[in-house]
Amino acid sequence: MINFFAVALIALVSCIGANDRKSPNNLIQQASMPENNLSKTVHDFTLKTIDGKDVNLAAYKGKKILIVNVASKCGYTPQYDELQKFHEKYGEKVAVLGFPANNFGGQEPGSNEEIATFCKKNYGVSFQMFAKISVTGEDQHPLYKWLSTKAENGWNDQAPRWNFCKYLVDENGKLLKYFGSGVKPFDDEIVNLVK
């Protein structure tokens, strides 16, 4: 009889402990715990456009932003055409921002002027292109450091692995999703997030 009560008591204590871990109070504590420095958003960055003008990304508040590291001599370069069509179709809701980078296979060796000419001539690019930057490594641009550092953006540690990686940012400048190079602009997951 004693053993039965002892077993029942242990089971009861275990159930109470398990429920306590899932209690609303614990969830509130976790949610209200101070997060590192997550007050910064993509809207805090100012960058140079491909033609040398300063643009504060706060200009895109109220729109989603699709940030893409691009290159002119890559197997994924035809995505420029899809990015342009995506820009034309969803430009009211999402801003496509292109960031030329020479980090992968030396596939963006040109100057800003050469890149701009290439994009316009071959793909009719009218979405905003920015000056060439580094998206990974020791000289990684602060924007890409924010995009790929969990302590800064809240959840993502994935830096670009190749050209044409994509980061989707929400209307308030918070990072929503990372997509690898092979995910095309009209992929269902991207479209469903921007519609």
- Distance in angstroms (rounded) separating the CA atoms of residues 57 and 41: 9
- Distance in angstroms (rounded) separating the CA atoms of residues 67 and 94: 10
> With contact defined as beta carbons under 8 Å apart, do 36 and 151 qualify?
yes
From 15, 74, 119, 165, active-site residue: 74
As a three-state string, the secondary structure of the chain is: CHHHHHHHHHHHHHHHHHHHHCCHHHHHHHHHCCCCCCCCCHHHCEEEECCCCEEEHHHHCCCEEEEEEECCCCCCCCHHHHHHHHHHHHCCCEEEEEEECCCCCCCCCCCHHHHHHHHHHHHCCCCEEECCCCCCCCCCCHHHHHHCCHHHHCCCCCCCCCCCCEEEECCCCCEEEEECCCCCCCCHHHHHHHC
User: Among this protein's residues, is 15 annotated catalytic?
Assistant: no
Instruction: Give me the active site residues, please.
Output: 74
